[in-house]
Each structure stands twice: as structure tokens, then as C-alpha cells.
Structure 1
Amino acid sequence: MPKVLLLHTGGTLGMAGGQPSALRPSAFFRTLKQRAPELFQLADIELELFSNLDSSEMQPELWSRMAAHLYQRMSSFDGVVVTHGTDTLAYTASALSFMLRDLPCPVVLTGSQRPLGEIRTDARLNLIDSVLSALHGPREVTICFDSHLYRGNRTRKVKVSEYDAFESPNFPVLGTLGVEATFEPGLRARGAPRLFERLDPRVFLLKVFPGLDPALPLALLPHIRGLVLEAYGAGNFPIDESLGRSLRPLFTQAREQGIPVVVVSQAYRNGVDLSLYESGAAARQDGAISGGDMTPSAAVVKLMQTIVYHRTPESVARTIQTSLAGELTMRPAPAPFPKFRKDRVKTRTP
């Protein structure tokens, strides 16, 4: 039989209890064999306990440990399934997609909205679909949820109380597991597997909103090494100085202090185009980096990694704007800003 590594990290799927009591960790492996015996008919499954955490406790240090562990183990398996809580699932999937390159087998993350031990749980089907995806899906980091397979770094959690909790707004699904299971080819390996496990968590995610006092993010600059800015629409933010809320000083001071600023959009679909409006163009002139259509979670983790492996502003900008693991839709580079010469300006004389 094909071999699948099932790495448990925690989350609702492996918990017990419910309302009115809080969910609590349980003996996940025992429950798995009782509630989903079909898994062991699909593959020779090796169970490993990495952690037993609520996903709100997942941190970059754990991502690095997890990536290093998977890098050492995955070549011995036909596929890998990682069980995880849903709240930070997209962050972990993004992190693993950047840290594990050119995979020898699929790495599929999954979770559930209800614990495996409950009668109306979605965990059982998510586990079965994930094992199938780990055996037949593309060789990249994905999220399998509610009979769909998504590219991990393109996925967002969009619902709290429904089973179709995840979507991929700017990239098509990589698999559909209905009556038939169909999969897209996905990413192609370009060589032997590679590990990039180092991250610098000193990155801040700032969401622009009306009334934001620029003094607050400016005070953060001495304490961070990177900034991801969730701007309006195509990359807009206030630059009118009349009310004292222009964010342009944030970009200029960040550039002076060598802190890269990546701009992503608050909009659910499409992405940033810093050449479209005045504020975006001003940010670009001040050194801002377009995050294109990356999700905020992918942009945060990618910046955590980029500032470790790349030192110069040019190298950081180039890496952020390059698709490393399918996280970004590549578009032609924007044209440089035109330079106007006063002696070429024509005036009409009476």
C-alpha cells in the first residue's frame, strides 16, 4: 500500500467536548482509528504527534521546526497530511509553501469545524479527502477542506460556523473531490527538495482605516524589520496633510530606516496596482513594494522569510514581487515614472 505520514498539530479536529464546555485536547490517534477506519484502507498511515495546540498558539518557531521535520521525513512517504486548527491554517500553509520547495510528494493540510468524535463532524470526510489528495494531488503545499483542494498560500478562512470555511479568491481550485476526485497538475519541481526554514517574526501587519493616527505606526518602526500594509482597493491610503493623517511619512521613514513595506489590498478579490492612483504612486516613489494579489497571510510570512535571506532593498523587492510558490500572479513590471522637462512644456501665447 502507498505510505502516508499523518502529522497531528492540534486544533478542533482532534479535540473533544463542546458547548457548553470549552473544547479540549483528547487522545487523537485512538479517536481516529475508531471514527475513520477507512483511512487505513486507503494507505499505510504512520501517525506522528507534532503538537496538540489550539491553532491560535501556532508561532513562526513552530513553523520552522515543522518544516525541518517534514523535510527529513517526507521523502520516505508517498504523501503527507498535516492536521491543524482552522484559525491559522492559511498562515501555516503559506509558511510551509515558502520553506519547503520542490516537494517530492504532496503536503496537504486539513482541519475541521467540529471535532472528529462528534456525530455531525466534517472531520471524517476532510481526512479521507486529504489522504486521497496526498496520494493523487499536486506536489505542493495545499489545504483540503469541504471536498475542495486549494493552493495553501492562496487560501483564506472566510467562515466561522459553516463547513465551507475556506476559499481561494484569486486562484482556481487544484482539486474537487465529489463523486469523482479530479486534480490539477499544480507546481512542477525544478530540482531536489530544498529547505528554507529561517524566519524573522519582527514583521507587523497594519490595516489602514479612516482615522488612523500615523503616529502609531511610526512609533512601531524602531521595533520591526518589515511592514505589510493592508491598503484600500488597488493600494490607496490617505496622503492629504490638511488633517494630519497622511501616511506618506510612514513610507519615507521606513525607507530611511531600511524597513521594507509591502502593500496588499483589503479587497477580497484582485490585488494591488500602485501605478493606478496618486497615493499608490507616491508610495511606490517612496520605496513601497507591491504585493500584487497575495493574501495578507502569505505576504506576512513571505516577508518574514525574505528579510532573512535577502539583505539589500533591491533584492528584497525583487523577491517579494517574484512568485516563489505560486502565491502571486506575475504581471509585467510597471513602467518607470516619466521625467518631465520644463523646457519642453508648450504654452499658448496670445
Structure 2
Amino acid sequence: MQKKLLLLSTGGTIASVVSDSGLVPKESGEDLLKLLGEIPYDIDVKDILQLDSSNMQPEEWKFIAEKIYEYRKDYDGIVLSHGTDTMAYTASMLTFMLQNIEIPVILTGSQVPINVVLSDAPDNLRLAFAAAASCQPGIYLAFDRKIMLGCRTVKVRTTNFNAFESVNVPPVARVTSDGLIFNNQNHKKDKQPCILNTDIDSRVSLVKLFPGFDPKLLFAMADSGCKGIVIEGYGLGGMNYIRRNTVAAIGKLIRRGIPVIASSQCLYERSDLTKYEVGRLALLEGAISARDMTSESAITKLMWALGQGMDVHEVAEFFDTDVANEVTIE
């Protein structure tokens, strides 16, 4: 019996056409499907948005999550076509908004519009449908012959077809000459029902430290209404305390009730605030370690936590919890 799948189209490069103002998303989901030829699945199509993903914001995340939640019981899997620029953010946020989703949800897109002869779109779409028909329940991203956990993905290239990497965990599966080969990974199989929860607080900031950064800017953010900050520190998460005392500023912000998440500017491996003095001092001031999370996952997890009304201590406990394989807790 054929798997029954749903394509939710939201725009992006994959659906774009040339216009006087540059590439704009115009193709429908049916247009995308027609260019794939025969696929061994029973596929329905619904166009829910038509946006360049640079315009994808929290309002759209909520809308997409609501649509996935609404349709999930009618299908074996869902494919979400999406622009690549913010796809990793959407995948991470859907992971938190749709915890314990009962079916696989696969995000995909392309670096070149599907109507171009040498586009990567057909292969990515075919991969996404195959993933939707065969993956365990969860939120994934399919791109360039790799299936990755959505909350572990980062866009690392602007034009190359190999645009996304799975950070700090191997891809869930790869396409080889033997077909779709899955890794032996023990993903969570939580029996709890999926509950849609789109309550988030997007009044957060992501800051990358650099030599000479003035910590007064952190207070300016807080005074402007920022409710939480993710700081990408150096190496294992170290932060300066000489002259421009970022460490002391973090302590003051936390005492004001503003959680500060400490991550690393390095794409791979983890932050560890216990190893160096510059990290330990931040830890003593109350900084919350992001461990090996991506920045995309850390910022969306913070938004979701604040949306639940969590205070600083509850946010710290939440970041010490692995919700959906987004972080390695040792």
C-alpha cells in the first residue's frame, strides 16, 4: 500500500521564478510536483505560504506548526518546501512547537529554482518524500542526499548544493548506490501525545563576541525590551572580564531576570564553561551553557522557554534537558 504524504508549500528558492526585481517565489506545490515525474507515493499538495524565507518570522512559524498539527493525523508523513536561508531556524522551532510529533516532518528546498534545467530541487524533493515515507517520527531536514535532524542543522554554504551540515551528530541517513542508508541511532521514541504549543517570546538576541565588544550594548538591549540573550563566546565559551567586563555584565543581567545562554562561535563540538577561568567566571555569574547546540537551536529553544513563562532558573533547567536530541547531556 502506498504511503500517503502531504506537501506543504511555503515558497523559497525552490519555487522561485525570474522577475524584474530578482528571484521571487511564484511556483505552486502542484508545479513542483509535476516536475518530479513518477513517485511511488500518494501525495496531496497544499500551498500555505509564498515567501522568500528571509521573510519567514515567528508568526509564520506558528502558522506552519498549526498546519502540520492540523493535518498530521491524515498522512504518514509531511514534506515542507521552504527557502534555505532560514530553514534551520524553522526546523529547530518546529522541534519545540511540535514535541512528540507522531509522523516524520521533512523540510527541504533548493539552491536553484526547480524550473532551471540543472536545479538540485528535484533530487531534494524526492529525498524528502522518501524520508517522509521511511523516517521515524520527528522533524528533519533533507538536502543534498542527506537526511538530518532539524534541530541539528546549519546552513554553511551560500551557493553550493551541499548547503547544510548536521552539526555534532551524524546525519540520520545518506543516499548511496545502495539506496537510503540509515545510521544506527537511538532516537527518542516518546509515547506521549503531540501537543501543539506555539507560545514563544521572540524578544531575544543573538550576540557574537569580538575583541573590543562593549558589554554596555547588552544593557541597551535589555533596556529596549530584550528578555533573553544567547552569546557566542570564544572557543569553549570563554568571555572577557578585563577592561570591558562582559562576565560582570552577564551577572547583572541574570540578576535582573534575563537569562544569558553561553555558546561557542565554533560550529563544531561543545561549549564547556568549566575548563578555563574565562568560562568558570561566567558560569559563577549564572551563565547557562548551550553545550553542543547550534545557535539556531539555542535561540529558538530560548524563545520557546520564555514563551512558557519560565524564569531564569527554569530556563537553566530547561537547557539542562534534552527535548528532542537537540543537545548532548553528559
Place the TM-score, normalised by the shorter chain, in its bin. Answer: over 0.9
Residue equivalent to 1:343: none
Q: Residue 238 of structure 1 is aligned with which of 234, 237, 240?
A: 240
Structure 1 residues 21 and 201: CA distance shift in structure 2, 3 A: closer
Q: Secondary structure at the match of 2:273?
A: coil
CA drift of 1:101 comes to 1.3
Confirm or deny that 1:293 pairs with 2:292: yes
The answer to whether the 8 A contact 2:8-2:29 is kept is no
1:277 aligns with 2:265: no
Cross-structure match for 1:344: none
Cα distance in 1 for residues equivalent to 2:291 and 2:78? 30
Q: Which residue of 1 aligns with 2:226?
A: 224
5+ residue gaps, structure 2, are: none
The letter of the residue matching 1:95 is M
Structure 1 residues 257-303: Cα deviation after superposition (integer angstroms, max 9, x where no partner): 10000011001111111111112111111111000000001000000
2:321: which partner in 1?
322
1:126 partner letter: N
Q: How do residues 3-152 of structure 1 correspond to structure 2 at under 5 angstroms?
A: 3-17=4-18, 22-38=22-38, 41-152=39-150
Q: Within 2, Cα distance between the matches of 1:329 and 1:86?
A: 26
State the one-letter code of the partner of 2:31. T
Give deviations 1:140-189, integer Å, cap 9, x for gaps. 10000001000101011111111011101200110112221122463313
Match of 1:257 in 2: 256
Equivalent pair of 2:11/2:83 in contact (CA under 8 Å): yes
Using the size of structure 2 for normalisation, the TM-score is 0.95
Q: Does 1:188 align with 2:189?
A: yes
**Cα distance between partner residues in 2 of 1:123 and 1:266:** 31
Output the amino acid matched with 2:191. Answer: R
**Per-residue CA distance 1:80-120 (angstroms, 9 max, x = gap):** 00000000000000000111111211000001000000000
CA positional deviation for 1:234: 0.4
CA–CA separation in structure 2 for the residues paired with 1:251 and 1:69:
38
Cα offset, 1:21, TM superposition: 6.2
Cα deviation, residue 61, structure 1? 1.5
Structure 2 letter corresponding to 1:205? L
Q: Cα offset for 1:30?
A: 4.5
Are the equivalent residues in 2 in contact too, given 1:136–1:183 (CA < 8 A)? no
TM-score by length of 1: 0.90
**Contact residue 11 and residue 27 of structure 2 kept, 8 A:** no
Change (3 A) 1:250 1:101: same
SS of corresponding position for 1:182: strand
The structure with the largest alpha-carbon Rg is 1
Aligned residues of 1:138 and 1:187 also touching (Cα < 8 A): no
SS in 1 for 2:22: coil
Q: Which runs of 5+ in 1 are unaligned?
A: 332-350
SS in 2 for 1:194: coil
Contact 1:140/1:187, CA 8 A, preserved across alignment? no
Q: Distance in 2 between matches of 1:94 and 1:28?
A: 25
> What amino acid is the match of 2:3?
P
Distance 2:221 2:21 in 1: 39
The residue aligned with 1:345 is none
Q: Which moved more, 1:224-233 or 1:180-189?
A: 180-189
Q: Give the 5 Å matches for 1:332-347.
A: none
Equivalent residues, number: 325
The 1:31–1:312 alpha-carbon spacing in structure 2 relative to 1, beyond 3 Å, is: closer
1:104 and 1:97 map into 2 onto residues whose CA distance is 12
What secondary structure does 1:187 align onto? coil
CA contact (8 A) 1:138 1:183 kept: no
Identity of aligned residues (%): 37
Measure how far apart 1:252 and its partner are.
1.8
- Mapped contact 2:227–2:258 kept (Cα < 8 A): yes
Counterpart of 1:109 in 2: which secondary structure?
strand
